[in-house]
Amino acid sequence: MKDSRNFTIIAKGSNMPRKFEITNNIRKLRFFANEMTQQELAEKAEVSRQTIIAIEAGKYSPSLELAFKIALAFGVPIGEVFSSEAGDE
């Protein structure tokens, strides 16, 4: 299951905004990590369980530092946790 959140970015030198859909694989990674709970992930990433819930649901985008902490908790590259696709608005 992938969750997503949309962002509008205006590229340098361009007047045309582009939408970036940020998706994550946190739920799937938790399942494959011996069904790690949201609380266990939160403790490894040093955040609250509510923060993990919001990120997993695509309602909140983590800081770059937190994104790396989450990837480290799973022992995978950040690109296996988070990805994005750019499209025209």
pLDDT, tens digit, for every residue of 57-75?
A: 999 999 999 999 999 999 9
Of 7, 55, 11, residue with least CA distance to 30? 55
* Predicted TM-score (pTM) above 0.85: no
More confident residue, 22 or 25: 25
Residue 19's pLDDT band (boundaries 50, 70, 90)? confident
Which residues partner with 8 through β-bridges?
Answer: 19
What mean pLDDT value characterizes the chain? 86
Say how many CA atoms lie within 13 Å of 87 toward its Cβ. 7
Torsion of CA 7, 13, 14, 18, to 10 degrees: -20
